[in-house]
Structure 1
Amino acid sequence: MANLDETLQMLKELTDANGIPGNEREPREVMKKHIEPLADEVSTDNLGSLIAKKQGTASGPKIMVAGHLDEIGFMVTHIDDKGFIKFQTVGGWWEQVMLAQRVTIMTRTGNVPGVIGSKPPHILPPEARKKSMDKKDMFIDIGASSKEEAQEFGIRPGDAIVPVCDFTVMKNEKYLMAKAWDNRIGCAIAIEVLRQLQNEDHPNTVYGVGTVQEEVGLRGAKTATNQIQPDIGFAVDVGIAGDTPGVTTKDALAKMGDGPQIIVYDASMVSHKGLRDLVTDTADEKKIPYQFDAVPGGGTDSGSIHLTANGVPALSITIATRYIHTHAAILHRDDFENAVKLIVEVIKKLDAETVKEITFS
């Protein structure tokens, strides 16, 4: 791989880190390394969400920018007598994208490589070849000859299992491939927003947050928001890219490279009209590209953020990403940079009067 600039190096470190829901230590440590020099104070909630606080020129409103640290993966549930691993999915997986894929099992004594086993098509009856295998029938092969040998490798029930895909800058260098874009790109946006606010006046206190356990029910967003008690919340996450063969505008509207997505509706919330209007007006004024989208089949941390305490005006801003919830996803660097630029410009406007005005609009 070509030499990476500082931003790409950060993105590589974030996506190469392994962290399924409930086991986010690695990505939390990477995020902390990058965000701590930019913050006045760094803390965690009791579930492990990372909270970096940056004070502005006034004590004004509290603004939360949250990406989630966790990625979808699996968990060891059982080792059979022959040393094969049975597992539980952690987060949403579709069987079609799982078989024959490489994984890493994180044990207390180190990482163990494996592959999700599959039968060769040669021995399957014709009708079985047409169906995807049920997750319950899958297993992981770690190259162990017995249950005892697998245990000697350090495998125990509860161990986290993560997909394998090294961060890759593609031939068109704007295109970036990695595992865990969902949602290390949100963590990267939170870091970069704090970085770009270093030399800017902002009339508020900004919290860059890496939440835990988003993929299993927006859990860390609930506890982190409760600790912060923000006045405004942004969830930054991945969205659906509708620009691949076979996907129509009925399925997904956004195209990679056309700007961040402003989510007007998803399964976890109706976006806050006053905040949404401020964001899109700011984008128009600053000539920052953006796209609208609705995702009735999924949600983001905004779903928990907006229901905290007496309610928090919230909005999801997402990056159109191909192949989310698989081993290897692709996004466009320009969308990341424009999302950061947009959020920074909006934060600069969020003084006490503006927050009061948009809250009831």
Structure 2
Amino acid sequence: MELEKLLEKLSNAHGISGYENTIKDIMEEEIKPYVDEARTDKMGNLITTKKGEGPAIMLAAHMDEIGLMVQYIDDNGFLRFVKIGGWFDQTLHSQRVVVHGSNGPITGVIGSKPPHVMKDEDRKLPVKAEDMFVDIGAKDKEDAINMGVDVGTAISIDRDYVPLANGLVTCKAFDNRAGVAMLIDAMKQLSETDVKATVHAVGTVQEEVGLKGARTSAFGLNPDVAIAVDVTFPGDHPGIDKKDSALEMGKGAVITVVDASGRGLIADRNVVKWLKETAEENDIPYQLNVGGGGTTDATAIHLTREGIPSSTISVPTRYIHSPVEVLSLEDLQACADLIAKAVLNIEKYF
């Protein structure tokens, strides 16, 4: 399955917010055969275009993953860090990481004060990220610096892509390498058809820290309509109720109606109608999402200039913002198919 191989390639690569170049290079290499032009803007967004005479649509998939950054190196060579993006601190503890030093990648582990020397009341409390550190095996601060580590060095989680049962797969950074993979696959599908629309397939930067690349790229492109391509959390596993998310893995692509209880995106009704009817006409399984938390690039895009009609197509993904995200390959393909079919169907609606 080509889409799975692409997802694996993207997910095993590293690129935290602001340091997306490795992902951008992969995306550019994979998508170039299916577009007329590709460029990188001043912000670092990859903007590719397939030219047409119809409406202009922006398809946006953010390239960054959440990560860490070296804040300082102590005298014993341990790295103190800050979080880049939205981490739940407990998922960081005892993880293996890649420290992206100037001399090449360095393996490290996240450690903290051992429970053996904690007081009883302290053992009952979760360890905060501010009390953790990265151990790269350095003898002291000078040794760490000589290894290529400095203040501002990026750190990402060290996890490999592996299959689970029943067509499920797991890795770090499906948020949002899944979106990038779906976007590339959709553009490949479109390359084999007669596309009337002008399609801007954009890999955006710094979504996890404020939707930044989406805002600047949408301003420059000023499309007629936009779809963000991302992941979203389902409510089909222990610890979450259906009232918090009625979505399920294996039930197809997710079309956003509202996210963050309307504080983020209230999707344009015609866009939602377009996506729903396209899915139904092509027998693509889909789900509708009215979410209480979490936003996507569509939040920034739809507020650009005088406003851009927008929604989001997402793949349901368990354990988002952790090193062990899980999704269904069938859902992933449904999303890619819906993106492609929607582009072909756009002139009926815009």
TM-score grouping bracket, smaller chain normalisation: over 0.9
- CA distance in 2 between counterparts of 1:239 and 1:114 reads 30
Instruction: State the partner residue of 1:83.
Output: 77
Which AA in structure 2 matches 1:62? A
- Aligned-residue CA RMSD in angstroms? 1.2
Instruction: State the partner residue of 1:359.
Output: none
Which AA in structure 2 matches 1:354? Y
- CA distance in 2 between counterparts of 1:7 and 1:317 reads 17
Instruction: State the partner residue of 2:295.
Output: 299
- The TM-score, its normalising length taken from structure 1, stands at 0.93
- CA distance in 1 between counterparts of 2:118 and 2:245 reads 35
Among 175, 197, 209, the alignment partner of 1:182 is: 175
Cα deviation, residue 281, structure 1: 1.6
Identity %: 42
Task: Give the unaligned 5+ runs of structure 2.
Answer: none
Cα displacement string for residues 177-212 of structure 1 (whole angstroms, at most 9, x for unaligned residues): 111100011111111111001121222111111100
Among 191, 215, 238, the alignment partner of 1:198 is: 191
- CA distance in 1 between counterparts of 2:349 and 2:6 reads 33
Instruction: State the partner residue of 1:354.
Output: 349
- CA distance in 2 between counterparts of 1:286 and 1:170 reads 29
Instruction: State the partner residue of 1:236.
Output: 229
Among 21, 25, 38, the alignment partner of 1:42 is: 38
- CA distance in 1 between counterparts of 2:48 and 2:297 reads 17
- Residue 121 (structure 2) pairs with residue 121 (structure 1): no
- Residue 157 (structure 2) pairs with residue 157 (structure 1): no
Report which stretch shifted further, 60-69 or 199-208: 199-208
Cα deviation, residue 164, structure 1: 1.0
- The total of aligned residue pairs comes to 347
- CA distance in 2 between counterparts of 1:129 and 1:180 reads 30
- CA distance in 1 between counterparts of 2:102 and 2:146 reads 12
Task: Give the unaligned 5+ runs of structure 1.
Answer: 356-361
- CA distance in 2 between counterparts of 1:345 and 1:6 reads 19
Which AA in structure 2 matches 1:43? R
Report which stretch shifted further, 197-206 or 297-306: 197-206
Report which stretch shifted further, 213-222 or 241-250: 241-250
Instruction: State the partner residue of 1:290.
Output: 286
- CA distance in 1 between counterparts of 2:251 and 2:195 reads 27
Which AA in structure 1 matches 2:323? H
Cα deviation, residue 8, structure 1: 2.3
Tell me if the contact between 2:46 and 2:202 (Cα under 8 Å) persists in the aligned partners.
yes
Which AA in structure 1 matches 2:25? E
- Residue 130 (structure 2) pairs with residue 136 (structure 1): yes
Which AA in structure 2 matches 1:227? G
Which AA in structure 2 matches 1:239? T
Instruction: State the partner residue of 1:6.
Output: 2
Cα displacement string for residues 80-111 of structure 1 (whole angstroms, at most 9, x for unaligned residues): 00100011100001111111001101112100
Tell me if the contact between 1:45 and 1:223 (Cα under 8 Å) persists in the aligned partners.
no
- CA distance in 1 between counterparts of 2:304 and 2:80 reads 37
- CA distance in 2 between counterparts of 1:194 and 1:85 reads 42
Cα deviation, residue 36, structure 1: 0.7
Runs of 4+ residues over 6 Å off in structure 1: none
Cα displacement string for residues 149-192 of structure 1 (whole angstroms, at most 9, x for unaligned residues): 111111011111001111112243x1111111000111111111
Cα displacement string for residues 118-159 of structure 1 (whole angstroms, at most 9, x for unaligned residues): 233222222212211122111111111100111111101111
Cα deviation, residue 223, structure 1: 1.2
- The TM-score, its normalising length taken from structure 2, stands at 0.96
